[in-house]
């Protein structure tokens, strides 16, 4: 049996939704774009700064020959809303268990299945690795680029996380990239609350609400207003995307927001202790910046919710917090 077919079979057994394979050549297609972003101050503190490491897998794993890219859908069927008086919304990427953990577990499971039939070297990454995950996913045929910059899979849409395994395996056949299927649709560009999507396939990350909810740097007043009640992440450009309608739902139960129900209690966030916070919310990806950032966002959300009926109550809540 071909090693490629064996890996695909095992990926199905361990409930990996999408899998693709690519070689270890540098990601030359996006080098100029990465340089432009850097020169134009359109990058974030969450990215690897060394552009050669971003594009060349061999600078991370010198004997890398192939890359197995996987994706997990987090588009779970869940419609409950919590009963808090003031809700702060979480993007779907922060529902359920932190995807870094779920993804790493899946990749490790897959690696252990491969090592049963072949001795090999590998390194696993999801989100926090040096390479550009989306470009790897694109190269490995996982999906095409949407104008909102997201990788869109034909079956599952764009609510998918990406992970990859650098390996020294010789894979018999690689997948091929897919052309964008956005056509003349530009709903995501129109819907972006801060016009961060200023051109198709082009995001100014520092204006993206997702970034604003995560950065510890000062937020400009006009952007604070645009956050509305979002306290972690932003789904707007994916929610309006027609390619996310009638797609296959996620069966990854880890992403069901059993604790938060997809939102947080803004009053609780103002007073909860660090220890309580870690115990109750430490499992979610949205906690990675710590309680302080969510508390800051909760205050912004409360100010955005203020109206003549709740003004006194909210002002009292915010006093001295
Ligand atoms: C930094 C970062 C952010 C930053 C900057 C995002 C950004 N677009 O760069 C912020 C905080 C804003 C962010 C937000 C989000 N992120 Co983020 N983020 C990252 C991270 C760590 C690096 C991203 C990066 O390298 N950007 C570099 C630039 C070059 O990428 P880009 O602007 O998206 O440009 C791409 C395309 O536009 C395309 N492109 C450029 N020009 C052209 C031209 C044409 C013609 C075409 C077809 C394509 C094309 O190529 C570029 C390279 O991929 C990755 C993980 C990783 N290590 O790669 C996750 C990652 C991209 N994020 C992810 C997610 C889920 C999100 C959010 C949905 C979370 C949320 N709900 O709030 C939003 C989506 C925002 C958006 N529309 O992009 C997923 C994306 C999964 C997917 N299906 O695509 C990733 C891959 C994490 C993961 N492993 O799952 N993120």
Q: By 3-state DSSP, what share of the chain in percent is helix, strand and coil, each rounded to 5?
A: 40, 15, 45
Compute the distance from residue 14 Cα to the ligand 1 centre, in Å. 26
144 and 15 in a single domain? The answer is yes
Which H/E stretch holds residue 123? strand 122-125
Measured CA to CA in angstroms, residue 208 lies from 101, 110, 195, 220 at distances of 25, 34, 8, 13
89 located within any domain = no
For residue 308, give both structure tokens. Answer: 């003549």
Ligand 1 atom having least distance to the Cα of 158: 83
- Same structural domain for residues 157 and 17? yes
Residue with tokens 């268990």: 97
Considering the domain architecture, whether residues 150 and 201 belong to the same structural domain is answered as no
**Residue 129 tokens, joined:** 């690795």
Q: Which residues contact 81 (CB under 8 A, 6 or more apart)?
A: 87, 261, 262, 263
List of the chain residues with pLDDT < 50 = none
Pairing of strands 18-23, 202-203: unpaired
Q: Which domain-ending residue is among 106, 136, 167?
A: 167
Measured CA to CA, the distance from residue 270 to residue 280 in angstroms comes to 15
Pairing of strands 151-152, 144-145: antiparallel
Q: Is the same domain home to 163 and 193? A: no
CA dihedral 200, 206, 210, 213 (to 10 degrees): -160
User: Does 199 share its domain with 155?
Assistant: no
Distance separating alpha carbons of residues 216 and 221, to the nearest angstrom: 15
Q: What residue spans of 118-199 are helical by DSSP H? A: 133-139, 187-191
* Range(s) of the domain holding residue 214: 187-318
Give the pLDDT confidence score for residue 312 in this predicted structure: 96
Q: How far apart are CA 63 and CA 24, in angstroms?
A: 9
Check whether residue 234 and residue 288 sit in a common domain. yes
Q: Is 5 a catalytic residue?
A: no
Look at phi and psi of residue 233 and say left if phi exceeds 0, alpha if psi is from -120 to 50, else beta: left
Catalytic residue among 23, 63, 98, 127: 127
Domain count, the chain: 2
Q: Are residues 270 and 221 in the same domain?
A: yes
Token representation of residue 250: 């996620």
Same domain, 232 and 279: yes
Q: Which of 107, 139, 167 is the last residue of a domain?
A: 167
Which residue has the CA at smallest separation from atom 15 of ligand 1?
Answer: 210
**Distance of alpha carbon 135 from alpha carbon 143, whole angstroms:** 10
- Pocket, ligand 1, Cβ cutoff 6 A: 30, 33-34, 37, 44, 46-47, 91, 93, 126-127, 129, 132-135, 145, 148-151, 158, 160-162, 180, 201, 203, 205, 208, 210-211, 214, 233-235, 237
Strands 87-90 and 230-232 turn out to be parallel
Q: CA-CA distance, 195 to 176, in Å (whole number)?
A: 32
* pLDDT of amino acid 320: 79
Question: pTM for the complete prediction?
Answer: 0.98
How far apart are alpha carbons 270 and 88 in whole angstroms? 12
Longest dimension (CA), the chain: 70
Query: Going edge to edge, which strands form the sheet with 18-23?
Result: 18-23, 66-73, 160-167, 122-125
Instruction: Quote the pLDDT of residue 253.
Output: 96
Asked if 107 and 163 count as a contact pair (C-beta separation under 8 A), the reply is yes
Identify whether 238 is part of a domain: yes
pLDDT for 321 equals: 79
């Amino acid at each position: 049996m071909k090693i490629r077919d064996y890996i695909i079979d095992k990926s199905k057994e361990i409930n990996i939704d999408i899998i693709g394979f690519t070689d270890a050549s540098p990601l030359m297609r996006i080098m100029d774009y990465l340089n432009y972003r850097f020169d134009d101050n359109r990058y974030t503190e969450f990215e690897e700064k060394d552009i050669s490491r971003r594009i060349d897998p061999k600078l991370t794993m010198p004997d890398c020959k192939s890359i197995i890219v996987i994706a997990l859908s987090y588009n779970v069927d869940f419609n409950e809303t919590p009963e808090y008086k003031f809700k702060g919304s979480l993007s779907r990427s922060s529902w359920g268990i932190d995807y870094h953990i779920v993804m790493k577990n899946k990749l490790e499971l897959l690696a252990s299945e491969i090592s049963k039939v072949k001795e090999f070297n590998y390194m696993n990454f999801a989100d926090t690795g040096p390479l550009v995950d989306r470009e790897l996913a694109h190269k490995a045929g996982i999906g095409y680029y949407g104008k909102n910059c997201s990788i869109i899979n034909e079956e599952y849409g764009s609510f998918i996380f990406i992970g990859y395994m650098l390996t020294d395996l010789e894979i018999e056949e690689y997948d091929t990239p897919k052309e964008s299927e956005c056509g003349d649709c530009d709903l995501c560009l129109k819907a972006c609350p801060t016009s961060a999507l200023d051109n198709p396939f082009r995001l100014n990350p520092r204006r993206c609400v997702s970034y604003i909810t995560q950065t510890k740097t000062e937020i400009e007043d006009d952007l604070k207003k645009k956050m509305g009640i979002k306290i972690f992440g932003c789904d707007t450009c994916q929610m309006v995307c027609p390619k996310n309608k009638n797609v296959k739902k996620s069966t990854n139960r880890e992403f069901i927001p059993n604790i938060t129900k997809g939102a947080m209690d803004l009053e609780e966030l103002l007073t909860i202790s660090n220890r309580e916070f870690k115990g109750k919310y430490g499992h979610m990806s949205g906690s990675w910046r710590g309680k302080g950032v969510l508390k800051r966002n909760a205050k912004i959300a409360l100010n955005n919710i203020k109206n003549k009926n709740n003004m006194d109550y909210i002002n009292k809540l915010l006093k001295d917090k």
